Structure 1
Amino acid sequence: MPVIKIETYIAADIQVVFNLSQSIDLHLVSASQTNEKAIAGKTTGLIGLGESVTWQARHFGINQRLSIVIAEFEEPYYFADEMTKGAFAAMRHEHTFKQIGDKVLMTDVFKYKSPLGILGKLADVLFLERYMRKFLMKRNRVLKEIAEDPNKYKKILPLYSGRIT
Protein backbone atom coordinates (compact mmCIF):
# COMPACT_ATOMS: atom_id res chain seq x y z
CA MET A 1 0.00 0.00 0.00
CA PRO A 2 1.64 3.27 -1.09
CA VAL A 3 1.95 6.01 1.54
CA ILE A 4 2.57 9.58 0.42
CA LYS A 5 3.71 12.02 3.10
CA ILE A 6 3.96 15.73 2.37
CA GLU A 7 4.96 18.45 4.84
CA THR A 8 4.16 22.07 4.06
CA TYR A 9 5.04 25.13 6.15
CA ILE A 10 2.49 27.91 5.91
CA ALA A 11 2.88 31.42 7.38
CA ALA A 12 -0.66 31.68 8.74
CA ASP A 13 -2.81 30.98 11.78
CA ILE A 14 -3.60 27.31 12.41
CA GLN A 15 -7.37 27.96 12.30
CA VAL A 16 -7.13 29.51 8.83
CA VAL A 17 -5.06 26.60 7.50
CA PHE A 18 -7.37 24.03 9.11
CA ASN A 19 -10.50 25.70 7.72
CA LEU A 20 -9.02 25.98 4.23
CA SER A 21 -8.06 22.30 4.36
CA GLN A 22 -11.63 21.28 5.11
CA SER A 23 -13.08 23.72 2.56
CA ILE A 24 -14.91 22.17 -0.39
CA ASP A 25 -14.52 25.50 -2.21
CA LEU A 26 -10.72 25.57 -1.79
CA HIS A 27 -10.51 22.00 -3.07
CA LEU A 28 -12.39 23.00 -6.21
CA VAL A 29 -9.88 25.80 -6.85
CA SER A 30 -6.85 23.58 -6.21
CA ALA A 31 -8.14 20.75 -8.42
CA SER A 32 -9.27 22.87 -11.35
CA GLN A 33 -6.90 21.02 -13.71
CA THR A 34 -9.09 17.90 -13.36
CA ASN A 35 -12.38 19.82 -13.72
CA GLU A 36 -13.30 18.63 -10.24
CA LYS A 37 -16.88 19.13 -9.02
CA ALA A 38 -18.62 18.32 -5.76
CA ILE A 39 -21.77 16.55 -6.93
CA ALA A 40 -23.32 14.98 -3.81
CA GLY A 41 -23.26 15.30 -0.04
CA LYS A 42 -21.61 18.47 1.22
CA THR A 43 -20.94 20.50 -1.94
CA THR A 44 -19.81 23.86 -0.54
CA GLY A 45 -18.38 25.31 2.68
CA LEU A 46 -16.52 23.40 5.36
CA ILE A 47 -16.87 19.65 5.71
CA GLY A 48 -16.91 18.20 9.22
CA LEU A 49 -17.09 14.97 11.19
CA GLY A 50 -19.44 12.41 9.69
CA GLU A 51 -20.12 14.50 6.60
CA SER A 52 -19.45 13.19 3.12
CA VAL A 53 -18.82 14.53 -0.36
CA THR A 54 -18.77 12.89 -3.76
CA TRP A 55 -16.25 14.34 -6.19
CA GLN A 56 -16.41 14.00 -9.94
CA ALA A 57 -13.22 14.66 -11.88
CA ARG A 58 -11.34 13.69 -14.99
CA HIS A 59 -8.18 11.66 -14.30
CA PHE A 60 -6.22 9.85 -17.00
CA GLY A 61 -8.84 10.93 -19.55
CA ILE A 62 -11.65 9.17 -17.69
CA ASN A 63 -14.48 10.77 -15.71
CA GLN A 64 -14.34 9.29 -12.20
CA ARG A 65 -16.25 9.63 -8.95
CA LEU A 66 -14.84 9.41 -5.45
CA SER A 67 -16.97 9.53 -2.31
CA ILE A 68 -15.33 10.25 1.04
CA VAL A 69 -16.48 10.67 4.62
CA ILE A 70 -14.76 12.62 7.39
CA ALA A 71 -13.98 9.74 9.75
CA GLU A 72 -11.98 11.60 12.44
CA PHE A 73 -11.96 15.26 13.41
CA GLU A 74 -10.10 17.18 16.12
CA GLU A 75 -10.26 20.89 15.34
CA PRO A 76 -7.86 22.60 14.57
CA TYR A 77 -5.22 19.87 14.76
CA TYR A 78 -6.33 16.85 12.77
CA PHE A 79 -8.89 15.27 10.51
CA ALA A 80 -9.01 12.18 8.33
CA ASP A 81 -11.13 11.37 5.34
CA GLU A 82 -11.73 7.88 4.00
CA MET A 83 -13.07 6.68 0.69
CA THR A 84 -16.48 5.06 0.82
CA LYS A 85 -16.78 4.54 -2.93
CA GLY A 86 -14.39 5.07 -5.82
CA ALA A 87 -11.62 3.76 -8.05
CA PHE A 88 -9.20 2.82 -5.26
CA ALA A 89 -9.56 -0.46 -3.38
CA ALA A 90 -9.06 1.69 -0.25
CA MET A 91 -8.00 5.27 0.52
CA ARG A 92 -7.35 7.32 3.67
CA HIS A 93 -6.05 10.90 3.82
CA GLU A 94 -4.85 12.19 7.19
CA HIS A 95 -4.37 15.94 7.69
CA THR A 96 -2.34 17.12 10.70
CA PHE A 97 -1.68 20.74 11.73
CA LYS A 98 0.83 22.10 14.24
CA GLN A 99 1.43 25.79 14.99
CA ILE A 100 5.16 26.48 15.20
CA GLY A 101 5.73 30.14 15.95
CA ASP A 102 4.15 32.16 13.15
CA LYS A 103 3.91 29.14 10.84
CA VAL A 104 1.80 26.03 10.60
CA LEU A 105 3.30 22.68 9.75
CA MET A 106 0.64 20.96 7.67
CA THR A 107 1.30 17.26 7.17
CA ASP A 108 -0.62 15.12 4.71
CA VAL A 109 -0.41 11.34 4.89
CA PHE A 110 -2.21 9.80 1.92
CA LYS A 111 -2.57 6.01 1.95
CA TYR A 112 -4.23 4.08 -0.81
CA LYS A 113 -4.55 0.64 -2.24
CA SER A 114 -4.91 0.28 -5.98
CA PRO A 115 -7.46 -2.10 -7.44
CA LEU A 116 -6.60 -4.93 -9.85
CA GLY A 117 -3.99 -6.72 -7.74
CA ILE A 118 -0.61 -6.98 -9.46
CA LEU A 119 -1.72 -4.66 -12.29
CA GLY A 120 -2.60 -2.01 -9.69
CA LYS A 121 0.80 -2.43 -8.03
CA LEU A 122 2.47 -2.03 -11.41
CA ALA A 123 0.43 1.14 -12.05
CA ASP A 124 1.62 2.49 -8.67
CA VAL A 125 5.26 2.03 -9.64
CA LEU A 126 4.88 3.30 -13.20
CA PHE A 127 2.72 6.38 -12.69
CA LEU A 128 -0.05 6.43 -10.06
CA GLU A 129 1.98 7.22 -6.94
CA ARG A 130 3.83 10.03 -8.77
CA TYR A 131 0.50 11.37 -10.13
CA MET A 132 -1.11 11.41 -6.67
CA ARG A 133 1.93 13.10 -5.09
CA LYS A 134 1.87 15.81 -7.77
CA PHE A 135 -1.89 16.28 -7.30
CA LEU A 136 -1.51 16.68 -3.51
CA MET A 137 1.48 19.00 -3.83
CA LYS A 138 -0.46 21.29 -6.16
CA ARG A 139 -3.33 21.37 -3.66
CA ASN A 140 -0.90 22.32 -0.90
CA ARG A 141 0.75 25.06 -2.99
CA VAL A 142 -2.66 26.61 -3.69
CA LEU A 143 -3.70 26.30 -0.03
CA LYS A 144 -0.43 27.91 1.11
CA GLU A 145 -0.78 30.80 -1.35
CA ILE A 146 -4.33 31.50 -0.22
CA ALA A 147 -3.70 31.00 3.53
CA GLU A 148 -0.80 33.45 3.54
CA ASP A 149 -2.91 36.26 2.03
CA PRO A 150 -5.94 37.47 4.07
CA ASN A 151 -7.46 39.06 0.95
CA LYS A 152 -7.44 35.64 -0.71
CA TYR A 153 -8.54 33.43 2.18
CA LYS A 154 -11.41 35.77 3.04
CA LYS A 155 -12.79 35.11 -0.45
CA ILE A 156 -12.76 31.35 0.23
CA LEU A 157 -13.74 31.78 3.90
CA PRO A 158 -15.89 34.91 3.56
CA LEU A 159 -17.25 34.86 7.12
CA TYR A 160 -13.87 34.27 8.70
CA SER A 161 -13.71 35.26 12.33
CA GLY A 162 -12.24 32.16 13.90
CA ARG A 163 -14.38 29.06 13.38
CA ILE A 164 -16.59 29.13 10.31
CA THR A 165 -19.65 26.95 10.07
Structure 2
Amino acid sequence: MPVVKVAIWIDVPIEFCFDIARNISLHPRSVPHTKERAVAGVTEGLIQEGETVTWEAIHLGVRQTLTARIISMNPPYEFIDRMEEGAFHSLIHVHLFEEQNEGTLMTDILQFESPFGPVGRIFNRLFLKKYMTNFLVGRSENLKEIAEDEYSRTGKPRI
Protein backbone atom coordinates (compact mmCIF):
# COMPACT_ATOMS: atom_id res chain seq x y z
CA MET A 1 0.00 0.00 0.00
CA PRO A 2 1.54 3.34 -1.02
CA VAL A 3 2.12 5.92 1.71
CA VAL A 4 2.62 9.64 1.16
CA LYS A 5 3.90 11.85 3.98
CA VAL A 6 3.99 15.63 3.75
CA ALA A 7 4.87 18.07 6.55
CA ILE A 8 4.79 21.86 6.72
CA TRP A 9 5.39 24.38 9.49
CA ILE A 10 2.58 26.89 9.97
CA ASP A 11 3.00 30.07 11.99
CA VAL A 12 -0.25 29.75 13.99
CA PRO A 13 -1.14 28.08 17.30
CA ILE A 14 -1.94 24.38 17.18
CA GLU A 15 -5.65 24.76 18.04
CA PHE A 16 -6.11 27.25 15.22
CA CYS A 17 -4.28 25.00 12.74
CA PHE A 18 -6.32 21.97 13.83
CA ASP A 19 -9.58 23.82 13.21
CA ILE A 20 -8.47 25.20 9.84
CA ALA A 21 -7.56 21.68 8.66
CA ARG A 22 -11.00 20.25 9.53
CA ASN A 23 -13.01 23.24 8.37
CA ILE A 24 -15.23 22.00 5.54
CA SER A 25 -16.12 25.57 4.51
CA LEU A 26 -12.45 26.50 3.96
CA HIS A 27 -11.36 23.21 2.35
CA PRO A 28 -12.21 24.18 -1.26
CA ARG A 29 -9.77 27.11 -0.96
CA SER A 30 -6.98 24.66 -0.10
CA VAL A 31 -7.45 22.67 -3.34
CA PRO A 32 -8.86 25.16 -5.88
CA HIS A 33 -7.52 23.30 -8.93
CA THR A 34 -9.82 20.32 -8.23
CA LYS A 35 -12.98 22.43 -7.80
CA GLU A 36 -13.82 20.42 -4.67
CA ARG A 37 -17.11 21.03 -2.93
CA ALA A 38 -18.93 19.28 -0.13
CA VAL A 39 -22.18 17.80 -1.45
CA ALA A 40 -23.42 15.59 1.41
CA GLY A 41 -22.87 14.89 5.09
CA VAL A 42 -21.20 17.84 6.81
CA THR A 43 -21.09 20.54 4.13
CA GLU A 44 -19.85 23.50 6.19
CA GLY A 45 -18.10 24.32 9.44
CA LEU A 46 -15.98 22.02 11.58
CA ILE A 47 -16.31 18.28 11.05
CA GLN A 48 -16.33 16.10 14.17
CA GLU A 49 -15.48 12.50 15.00
CA GLY A 50 -18.00 10.05 13.52
CA GLU A 51 -19.27 12.52 10.91
CA THR A 52 -18.97 12.13 7.15
CA VAL A 53 -18.43 14.47 4.24
CA THR A 54 -18.91 13.68 0.58
CA TRP A 55 -16.66 15.64 -1.75
CA GLU A 56 -17.21 16.16 -5.43
CA ALA A 57 -14.06 17.11 -7.32
CA ILE A 58 -12.26 16.84 -10.61
CA HIS A 59 -9.21 14.58 -10.46
CA LEU A 60 -7.29 13.42 -13.51
CA GLY A 61 -9.86 15.15 -15.70
CA VAL A 62 -12.76 13.14 -14.28
CA ARG A 63 -15.52 14.34 -11.93
CA GLN A 64 -15.44 12.04 -8.91
CA THR A 65 -17.05 11.74 -5.50
CA LEU A 66 -15.45 10.53 -2.30
CA THR A 67 -17.16 10.02 1.04
CA ALA A 68 -14.91 10.12 4.10
CA ARG A 69 -15.70 9.52 7.76
CA ILE A 70 -13.71 10.97 10.66
CA ILE A 71 -12.87 7.73 12.48
CA SER A 72 -10.68 9.20 15.22
CA MET A 73 -10.09 12.62 16.73
CA ASN A 74 -7.71 13.75 19.47
CA PRO A 75 -7.94 17.57 19.50
CA PRO A 76 -5.76 19.44 18.74
CA TYR A 77 -3.17 16.81 17.87
CA GLU A 78 -4.72 14.39 15.41
CA PHE A 79 -7.68 13.35 13.37
CA ILE A 80 -8.04 10.48 10.94
CA ASP A 81 -10.44 10.09 8.07
CA ARG A 82 -11.18 6.96 6.08
CA MET A 83 -12.81 6.69 2.68
CA GLU A 84 -16.17 4.95 2.81
CA GLU A 85 -17.03 5.35 -0.87
CA GLY A 86 -14.92 6.51 -3.78
CA ALA A 87 -12.54 5.57 -6.55
CA PHE A 88 -9.89 3.96 -4.33
CA HIS A 89 -9.90 0.42 -3.02
CA SER A 90 -8.93 2.01 0.31
CA LEU A 91 -7.76 5.38 1.58
CA ILE A 92 -6.83 6.55 5.08
CA HIS A 93 -5.68 10.11 5.79
CA VAL A 94 -3.94 10.86 9.10
CA HIS A 95 -3.70 14.56 10.04
CA LEU A 96 -1.08 15.27 12.75
CA PHE A 97 -0.38 18.55 14.55
CA GLU A 98 2.61 19.25 16.79
CA GLU A 99 3.37 22.47 18.66
CA GLN A 100 6.74 23.71 17.49
CA ASN A 101 8.53 27.07 17.80
CA GLU A 102 5.33 28.93 18.73
CA GLY A 103 3.68 27.51 15.62
CA THR A 104 2.49 24.14 14.38
CA LEU A 105 4.09 21.35 12.41
CA MET A 106 1.24 19.90 10.35
CA THR A 107 1.87 16.44 8.90
CA ASP A 108 -0.36 14.54 6.52
CA ILE A 109 0.07 10.80 6.08
CA LEU A 110 -1.99 9.30 3.28
CA GLN A 111 -2.25 5.54 2.75
CA PHE A 112 -4.12 4.42 -0.33
CA GLU A 113 -4.66 1.49 -2.61
CA SER A 114 -6.01 1.62 -6.14
CA PRO A 115 -8.59 -0.85 -7.34
CA PHE A 116 -7.86 -3.41 -10.07
CA GLY A 117 -5.26 -5.57 -8.30
CA PRO A 118 -1.90 -5.84 -10.12
CA VAL A 119 -2.81 -3.18 -12.70
CA GLY A 120 -3.72 -0.80 -9.86
CA ARG A 121 -0.41 -1.48 -8.10
CA ILE A 122 1.49 -0.60 -11.28
CA PHE A 123 -0.61 2.57 -11.64
CA ASN A 124 0.22 3.45 -8.02
CA ARG A 125 3.96 3.16 -8.64
CA LEU A 126 4.08 4.81 -12.05
CA PHE A 127 1.72 7.69 -11.51
CA LEU A 128 -0.67 7.90 -8.57
CA LYS A 129 1.85 8.22 -5.72
CA LYS A 130 3.41 11.28 -7.39
CA TYR A 131 -0.03 12.75 -8.14
CA MET A 132 -1.15 12.29 -4.51
CA THR A 133 2.13 13.74 -3.20
CA ASN A 134 1.71 16.84 -5.37
CA PHE A 135 -1.93 17.12 -4.29
CA LEU A 136 -0.99 17.04 -0.58
CA VAL A 137 1.96 19.43 -1.01
CA GLY A 138 -0.28 21.96 -2.78
CA ARG A 139 -3.03 21.51 -0.18
CA SER A 140 -0.54 21.99 2.68
CA GLU A 141 0.95 25.13 1.16
CA ASN A 142 -2.51 26.58 0.59
CA LEU A 143 -3.64 25.68 4.14
CA LYS A 144 -0.53 27.41 5.48
CA GLU A 145 -1.38 30.56 3.55
CA ILE A 146 -5.05 30.45 4.59
CA ALA A 147 -4.24 29.77 8.26
CA GLU A 148 -1.59 32.47 8.57
CA ASP A 149 -3.79 35.02 6.78
CA GLU A 150 -6.89 34.20 8.87
CA TYR A 151 -4.89 34.27 12.10
CA SER A 152 -3.23 37.60 11.35
CA ARG A 153 -6.56 39.21 10.36
CA THR A 154 -9.02 37.71 12.84
CA GLY A 155 -7.24 35.52 15.40
CA LYS A 156 -9.83 32.79 14.72
CA PRO A 157 -10.80 30.60 11.77
CA ARG A 158 -13.83 31.64 9.75
CA ILE A 159 -16.42 28.90 10.02
**Alignment TM-score, normalising by the size of structure 2:** 0.94
Task: Name the counterpart of 1:22.
Answer: 22
CA drift of 1:151 comes to: 5.8
- Please list every run of 5 or more consecutive structure 1 residues that lacks an aligned counterpart in the other structure: 160-165
Count of residue pairs the alignment pairs up: 159
- Please list every run of 5 or more consecutive structure 2 residues that lacks an aligned counterpart in the other structure: none
The 2-side partners of 1:154 and 1:94 are apart by: 28
Task: Name the counterpart of 1:41.
Answer: 41
CA drift of 1:44 comes to: 0.7
1:98-117 to 2 correspondences below 5 Å: 98-117=98-117
CA drift of 1:154 comes to: 4.2
The 2-side partners of 1:3 and 1:16 are apart by: 27
1:135-154 to 2 correspondences below 5 Å: 135-150=135-150, 154=154
Question: Contact 1:12 / 1:104 at 8 angstroms: preserved in 2?
Answer: yes
RMSD, aligned CA:
1.7
Pair 1:120-2:129 in alignment = no
1:67-78 to 2 correspondences below 5 Å: 67-78=67-78
The 2-side partners of 1:155 and 1:101 are apart by: 18
CA drift of 1:158 comes to: 2.8
Instruction: Report the 3-state secondary structure (helix = DSSP H, G, I; strand = E; otherwise coil) of the residue aligned with 1:142.
Output: helix
Percent identity (aligned): 41
Task: Name the counterpart of 1:62.
Answer: 62
Task: Name the counterpart of 1:52.
Answer: 52
Task: Name the counterpart of 1:162.
Answer: none
Q: Residues 26 and 156 from structure 1, CA distance in 2 versus in 1: closer, same or farther, beyond 3 angstroms? A: farther
Q: Deviations over 1:60-90 (max 9, x none)?
A: 1111110000000011011000000000000
The 2-side partners of 1:156 and 1:64 are apart by: 32
